[in-house]
C-alpha cells in the first residue's frame, strides 16, 4: 500500500500504527536510492513528496529550512534567486532533500566543498515509533548536544523519516566552469594528477573511461581552461543522481578508498572496460556492475586498498551482499537503531549493521 | 576512598607505576578544575602513555564500576573535564606522539595529547596546516578539540573540528578498542565518527585521531578595520558575506576588549574605536585581490575610519596575537572571567550586542566582547573577582540572561566550547523532552553503564527510554 502523509501529524500517526502492527515500511522521496541494501518486501511504501514546504529562508543568514520532500531543484532555484547555492548537492534536481541526506549522496563538487553532511545544520526526524526528534541547530555553527544531523546523514531511512532539514548555503561563485579532455586512461590520470597538484582547491577532477573532467570555481581570472582541456558541461556518469537510470548497466557500486590509491583503482576499472566515474582527490569512485560476481570483484579491489564498496543501485540479484563486512561499532549502531526504531520497521534492508539479512 | 576505589587504585598503580597515578591532594585539587570556573571533586588521576594502557585503565574501571572522566590539556571552558563526584580522571596529556604525515592522502594520525598548534608547526614545511585554530591553540590538545568539536577564527571558511577529523581510534567504556572512520571516505553504516567528535568524552576515550591536513593558501591578506559604532561593524560583517565573499576569518572586538588587549600586546590598536574587525582573506592571488577590494569597498560604505592592511608576516602575526591573547588580557582588568559561547543568526548581531550591553549594564558588571562575527558565534566575557560574592552573583545572573537572549533570537547555546556542566541545564531551552531523550539514547548506545563523564552535556534526569523527573540541581559541592 502507498502511504502519502500530508503533514507531520499524519506521518507520525502512520508510523505509530506501523510500529504497533509491525508493518515494514520503505521510505521514498525521489526514488533515486530505492534500489539499495538487501532486497526486502515492504508492507507499505511511505512517500514523502507531500512534505514539500519551505519553512524558512533567510538569505542574509545563508540558511534555508525545508521539509524533507522538497526537491533539490527547488532549493537550488530559491537559493539561486538570491545569488546563493547548495554546492554539496548532487546534480539530481528531482531528488528530495530528505532522500539525498538519508543516502549521504552529495554531488561532484565534494573536492572543494566537502561532503553533503557538512551542509546539514539541523534535522527533524520522525522516528519509527512516531516521535518527532530534532537535533543540531539552525545557526551556521553549533556544538550543542550530540550530532544527530551527522548520524542521520547516510542512515538510509533506518533511524527515521527526515521531515525537515536546515541547510547551510553558500554565495554563488563569481565564476565556475567545467572543462574536459579525452584520451587514453594513463594520460587522463596523469593530467588529473597534475591538476590536483597545481590548482588551489579545484572543485572537481573526475576521471572516466577515456575522459577527464574538471571544474574550477572562483574569480574570473582563475577560471581558465587547463592545458589540453576545453569547456564542456558537467559529466554524466554512473550512479543514482549522476546520470539517468543505471538500469542499463544493471547496477552501480560505490567504492571508497584512500584518495592516493584512486588512480590505481581507476586504471583497473578502465582496463576491465567498465563504465565508471572516479572523483579524484576524494577517494570516491562509482562503477557499473552487471552481475553479482562484479560486486565481489569491486569489493576485493576496494579492500586491496584498505577501502570498501557498497551497491548503491541494483536489482535484487546484485544486492545479496550490498554493504560488505560488518562495520566497526556494529553493536553501537544496533542500539542506536533500536532506540529510534524499536520495532525495526523502517527500511530493514538498508541497515548495514543488521544482525541478520531481512526477509 | 571506598574499598572498590582503593582496589582500583592498587591495580592502576601496578599498571602505571606510582609516578603515573596521582593520588595526592595537590594533584586532585588541580584536576578538579579546567579553564572554566566550575570546581569539582577529583578521585584519582591516571596518566597512561599508550592506547594499550588506556584500554587497561578502562577495563579496570569497568570491572570496578567506577566513573571515568577523560582530560586533555584542561583548557575547556564549560567544566567538561571536571570530575564532579570523584572517580577516575584519565589524562591523555602524556600521549603526545605524531605519526608519519601521509602526504599523498593529506592526513596524519596523532595521539590526543598533541597540542593543536604543534600539528601545524610540524607540517608547515610540507605546505600543509591543520585548519581549526582555537585561540588556546598553544595549550589545548587535539583530544580536547575532538571532545568539544572545537572551532576557532578560521572555521568560518574551513569548518570546525569534525570536518577535519577523518577517523578516530577510541577505547570504549569496557576497554575494547575500535577505529571509526578512516582515510577511505564514507564507510558503510552510521557515521559514528561524527557522533564521537563533540561528544565531550561521554562515549569513550579517543586515543588516536586521523587529522585531515589542508594546503596552506597561496596568498593571504589580513586587514584591521575600525568603526565608531558596533552597529556599523556588524553591518559590515553582514555586507561582506552578502557580497559573496566568505573570508577565512572575520572577527570582532569591542572597545573594552580592544583596550585590554592593546595594553597587553601593544599592537597599535585604535583604543578609541567602538569596534574593530579583523578580516582575513586567502586563496589564489586573484581571489585575495578581489576579496580585498570587496572588503574595503563595503567597509568604506559603512563608515570605516581606517583600513589597516598587514604589510608583512610579522604584522599579520601581531594582529593575530592581539586577537588570540584576548582572553588572557582580561586578567589585566579582573582576576577571573565568566564567558558564554552562544551563537545567533548573523542577521541578529546588532540586536544581540545591544541586548548584551543592556544586560551587563543593568547587572553592573564589565563585559568585554571578542568573537567570531562571521558565523555569529559570540564570546561575551564578564570580568569578575570571584572573591567578591556579590559581583560573582551578578555575573552569573548576567550570563544567564545573555544565554536566554541569544536563544530567544533563534540562537543556540554553544558554537565551539561545548556544553559540559555549565550549559547543561540550559539544554531544555533549545531541545524538548523527546529531543533530549533521543540524545540520551545515542549516548547510552556507546556507554550502556553511564560511567563516561557522567552528569555532563545532558541535564540530570534525562534518560533513554524512561525520562525521570528533571532534577536540574547541580551535584553538591560543585561551584559554578
pLDDT at B258: 96
CB contact under 8 A, A256 and B343: no
Nearest to B430 among A144, A257, A307 (CB): A144
Chain B interface disruption, residue of A64, A308, A332, most B CBs within 10 A: A332
pLDDT by residue (tens digit) across B393-402? Answer: 999 999 999 9
pLDDT at B2: 65
Whether A1 and chain B come into contact, CB under 8 Å, resolves to: no
CB A117 within 8 A of CB A150: yes
Asked whether residue A53 is assigned to any structural domain, the reply reads yes
For chains A and B, CB pairs below 8 A equal 241
Domain that holds residue B339: 334-408
pLDDT at A241: 72
pLDDT at B470: 37
pLDDT at B475: 46
Band (pLDDT 50/70/90 cuts) for residue B176 is very high
Grid cell 568560518 — which residue? Answer: B156
Portion 181-200 of A in contact with B at CB < 8 A: 200
Question: Is the same domain home to B32 and B62?
Answer: yes
Question: Is the same domain home to B321 and B348?
Answer: no
Band (pLDDT 50/70/90 cuts) for residue B465 is confident
**CATH number for position B79:** 3.30.43.10
Question: Is the same domain home to B129 and B171?
Answer: yes
Task: Kindly state the average pLDDT of the residues B140-147.
Answer: 98
Q: Which residue is closest to B406 within chain A, CA to CA?
A: A139
**CATH number for position A22:** 3.30.465.10
pLDDT by residue (tens digit) across A17-58? Answer: 999 999 999 999 999 999 999 999 999 999 999 999 999 999
Give the domain-ending residue among B146, B181, B215: B215
Asked whether residue A326 is assigned to any structural domain, the reply reads no
Give the domain-ending residue among B382, B408, B434: B408
Asked whether residue B435 is assigned to any structural domain, the reply reads no
Band (pLDDT 50/70/90 cuts) for residue A246 is very low
Number of domains in chain B: 4
**CATH number for position B317:** 3.30.70.2190
**CATH number for position B121:** 3.30.465.10
Q: How far is A258 from chain B (nearest CA, A)?
A: 4
Neighbouring CB atoms inside 10 A of A83's CB total 13
Dihedral sign computed on CA atoms, order B468, B470, B476, B479: positive
Domain that holds residue A199: 175-319
Question: Is the same domain home to B323 and B343?
Answer: no
B148 CB neighbours in chain A (<8 A) are: 143
A156 CB neighbours in chain B (<8 A) are: none
pLDDT by residue (tens digit) across B257-286? Answer: 999 999 999 999 999 999 999 999 999 999
Band (pLDDT 50/70/90 cuts) for residue A359 is low
B428 CB neighbours in chain A (<8 A) are: none
Asked whether residue B157 is assigned to any structural domain, the reply reads yes
Asked whether residue A301 is assigned to any structural domain, the reply reads yes
pLDDT by residue (tens digit) across B419-451? Answer: 999 999 999 999 999 999 999 999 999 999 999
Asked whether residue A267 is assigned to any structural domain, the reply reads yes
Asked whether residue A335 is assigned to any structural domain, the reply reads no
Number of domains in chain A: 2
Q: How far is A294 from chain B (nearest CA, A)?
A: 19
C-alpha cell at B391: 559581583
Task: Kindly state the average pLDDT of the residues B102-129.
Answer: 98
Asked whether residue A356 is assigned to any structural domain, the reply reads no
Question: Is the same domain home to A10 and A35?
Answer: yes
Question: Is the same domain home to B19 and B85?
Answer: yes
Question: Is the same domain home to A118 and A184?
Answer: no
Asked whether residue A73 is assigned to any structural domain, the reply reads yes
Question: Is the same domain home to A67 and A164?
Answer: yes
DSSP state of A15: H
pLDDT at B37: 86
The residues near B334 (Cβ < 8 Å, ≥ 6 apart) are B366, B383, B384, B385
Question: Is the same domain home to A244 and A107?
Answer: no
Question: Is the same domain home to A144 and A54?
Answer: yes
B444 CB neighbours in chain A (<8 A) are: 335, 339
Question: Is the same domain home to A10 and A153?
Answer: yes
Question: Is the same domain home to A16 and A157?
Answer: yes
Give the domain-ending residue among B40, B75, B91: B91
- Judged by phi (left if over 0) then psi (alpha if -120 to 50, else beta), residue B454 lies in beta
Question: Is the same domain home to B205 and B228?
Answer: no
Contacts 24+ apart (CB under 8 A), B469-473: B470/B428, B472/B425
Whether A117 and chain B come into contact, CB under 8 Å, resolves to: yes
ipTM of this predicted complex? 0.97
Q: How far is A4 from chain B (nearest CA, A)?
A: 25
Portion 281-340 of A in contact with B at CB < 8 A: 282-284, 302, 305-308, 310, 323-324, 327-330, 332-333, 335-336, 339-340
> CA–CA separation, A251 vs A34, rounded Å?
12
pLDDT at B400: 95
Asked whether residue A334 is assigned to any structural domain, the reply reads no
Question: Is the same domain home to B197 and B291?
Answer: no
Question: Is the same domain home to B116 and B176?
Answer: yes
Asked whether residue B451 is assigned to any structural domain, the reply reads no
Question: Is the same domain home to A133 and A208?
Answer: no
Band (pLDDT 50/70/90 cuts) for residue A245 is very low
CB contact under 8 A, B343 and A147: no
**CATH number for position B347:** 3.30.70.2740
At CA B22, angle to CA B20 and CA B26, rounded to 5? 140
Amino acid at each position: 500500500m502507498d502511504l502519502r502523509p500530508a503533514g507531520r501529524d499524519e506521518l507520525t500517526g502512520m508510523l505509530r500504527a506501523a510500529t504497533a502492527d509491525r508493518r515494514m515500511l520503505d521510505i521514498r522521496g525521489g526514488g533515486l536510492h530505492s534500489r539499495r541494501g538487501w532486497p526486502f518486501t515492504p508492507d507499505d511504501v511511505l512517500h514523502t513528496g507531500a512534505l514539500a514546504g519551505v519553512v524558512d529562508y533567510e538569505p542574509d543568514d545563508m540558511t534555508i529550512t525545508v521539509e524533507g520532500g522538497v526537491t533539490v531543484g527547488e532549493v537550488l532555484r530559491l537559493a539561486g534567486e538570491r545569488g546563493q547555492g547548495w554546492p554539496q548537492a548532487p546534480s539530481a534536481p528531482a531528488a528530495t532533500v530528505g532522500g539525498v541526506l538519508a543516502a549521504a549522496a552529495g554531488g561532484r563538487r565534494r573536492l572543494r566543498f566537502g561532503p553533503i553532511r557538512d551542509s546539514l545544520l539541523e534535522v527533524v526526524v520522525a522516528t519509527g515509533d512516531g516521535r518527532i526528534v530534532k537535533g543540531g541547530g539552525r545557526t551556521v555553527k553549533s556544538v550543542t548536544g550530540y550530532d544527530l544531523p551527522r548520524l542521520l546523514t547516510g542512515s538510509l531511512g533506518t533511524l527515521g523519516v527526515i521531515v525537515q532539514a536546515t541547510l547551510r548555503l553558500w554565495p554563488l561563485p563569481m565564476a565556475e566552469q567545467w572543462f574536459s579532455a579525452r584520451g587514453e586512461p594513463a594520460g587522463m590520470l596523469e593530467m588529473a594528477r597534475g591538476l590536483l597538484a597545481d590548482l588551489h582547491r579545484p572543485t572537481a577532477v573526475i576521471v572516466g573511461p577515456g575522459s577527464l573532467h574538471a571544474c574550477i570555481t572562483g574569480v574570473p581570472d582563475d577560471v581558465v581552461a587547463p592545458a589540453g582541456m576545453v569547456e564542456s558541461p558537467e559529466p554524466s556518469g554512473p550512479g543514482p543522481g549522476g546520470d539517468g537510470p543505471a538500469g542499463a548497466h544493471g547496477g552501480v557500486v560505490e567504492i571508497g578508498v584512500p584518495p592516493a590509491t584512486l588512480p590505481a583503482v581507476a586504471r583497473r576499472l578502465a582496463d576491465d572496460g567498465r563504465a565508471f566515474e572516479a572523483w579524484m582527490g576524494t577517494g570516491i569512485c562509482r562503477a557499473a556492475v552487471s552481475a553479482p560476481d562484479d560486486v565481489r570483484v569491486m569489493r576485493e579491489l576496494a579492500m586491496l586498498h584498505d577501502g570498501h564498496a557498497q551497491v548503491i543501485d541494483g536489482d535484487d540479484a546484485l544486492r545479496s551482499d550490498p554493504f560488505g563486512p560488518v562495520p566497526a561499532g556494529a553493536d553501537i549502531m544496533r542500539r542506536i537503531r533500536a532506540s529510534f526504531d524499536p520495532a525495526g520497521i523502517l527500511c530493514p534492508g538498508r541497515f548495514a549493521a543488521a544482525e541478520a539479512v531481512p526477509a | 576512598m571506598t574499598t572498590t576505589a582503593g582496589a582500583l587504585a592498587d591495580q592502576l598503580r601496578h599498571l602505571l607505576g606510582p609516578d603515573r597515578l596521582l593520588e595526592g591532594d595537590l594533584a586532585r585539587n588541580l584536576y578538579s578544575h579546567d579553564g572554566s570556573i566550575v570546581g569539582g571533586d577529583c578521585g584519582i588521576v591516571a596518566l597512561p602513555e599508550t592506547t594499550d594502557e588506556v584500554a587497561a585503565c578502562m577495563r579496570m574501571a569497568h570491572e570496578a564500576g567506577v566513573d571515568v572522566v577523560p582530560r586533555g590539556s584542561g583548557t575547556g571552558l564549560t567544566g567538561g573535564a571536571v570530575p564532579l563526584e570523584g572517580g577516575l580522571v584519565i589524562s591523555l596529556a602524556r600521549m603526545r606522539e605524531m605519526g608519519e604525515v601521509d602526504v599523498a592522502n593529506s592526513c596524519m594520525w596523532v595521539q590526543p595529547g598533541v597540542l593543536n598548534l604543534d600539528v601545524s608547526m610540524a607540517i608547515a614545511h610540507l605546505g600543509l596546516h591543520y585548519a581549526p585554530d582555537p585561540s588556546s591553540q598553544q595549550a589545548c590538545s587535539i583530544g580536547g578539540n575532538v571532545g568539544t568539536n572545537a572551532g576557532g577564527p578560521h572555521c568560518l571558511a574551513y569548518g570546525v573540528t569534525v570536518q577535519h577529523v577523518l577517523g578516530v581510534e577510541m577505547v570504549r567504556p569496557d576497554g575494547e578498542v575500535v577505529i571509526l572512520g578512516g582515510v577511505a571516505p564514507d564507510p558503510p553504516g552510521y557515521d559514528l565518527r561524527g557522533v564521537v567528535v563533540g561528544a565531550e568524552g561521554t562515549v569513550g576515550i579517543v586515543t588516536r585521531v586521523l587529522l585531515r591536513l589542508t594546503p596552506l593558501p597561496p596568498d593571504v591578506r589580513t586587514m584591521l578595520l575600525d568603526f565608531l559604532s558596533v552597529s556599523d561593524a556588524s553591518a559590515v560583517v553582514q555586507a561582506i558575506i552578502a557580497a559573496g565573499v566568505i573570508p577565512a576569518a572575520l572577527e570582532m572586538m569591542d572597545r573594552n576588549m580592544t583596550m585590554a588587549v592593546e595594553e597587553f600586546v601593544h599592537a597599535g590598536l585604535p583604543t578609541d574605536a567602538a569596534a574593530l574587525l579583523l578580516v582575513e582573506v586567502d586563496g589564489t592571488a586573484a581571489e585575495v585581490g578581489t576579496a580585498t577590494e570587496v572588503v574595503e569597498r563595503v567597509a568604506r560604505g559603512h563608515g570605516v575610519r581606517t583600513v589597516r592592511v598587514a604589510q608583512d608576516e610579522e604584522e599579520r602575526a601581531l594582529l593575530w596575537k592581539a586577537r588570540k591573547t584576548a582572553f588572557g588580557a582580561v586578567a589585566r582588568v579582573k582576576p577571573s572571567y565568566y564567558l558564554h559561547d552562544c551563537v545567533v543568526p548573523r542577521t541578529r548581531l546588532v540586536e544581540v550586542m545591544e541586548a548584551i550591553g543592556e544586560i551587563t549594564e543593568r547587572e553592573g558588571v564589565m563585559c568585554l566582547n571578542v568573537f567570531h562575527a562571521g558565523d555569529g558565534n559570540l564570546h561575551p566575557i564578564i570580568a569578575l573577582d570571584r572573591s567578591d560574592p556579590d559581583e560573582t552573583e551578578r555575573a552569573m545572573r548576567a550570563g544567564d540572561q545573555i544565554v536566554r537572549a541569544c536563544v530567544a533570537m533563534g540562537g543556540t547555546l554553544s558554537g565551539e566550547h561545548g556544553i559540559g556542566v555549565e550549559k547543561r541545564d540550559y539544554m531544555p531551552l533549545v531541545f524538548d523532552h523527546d529531543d533530549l531523550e533521543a540524545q540520551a539514547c545515542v549516548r547510552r548506545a556507546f556507554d550502556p553503564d553511564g560511567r563516561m563523564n557522567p552528569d555532563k552535556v545532558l541535564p540530570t534526569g534525562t534518560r533513554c527510554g524512561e525520562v525521570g523527573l528533571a532534577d536540574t540541581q547541580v551535584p553538591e559541592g560543585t561551584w559554578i
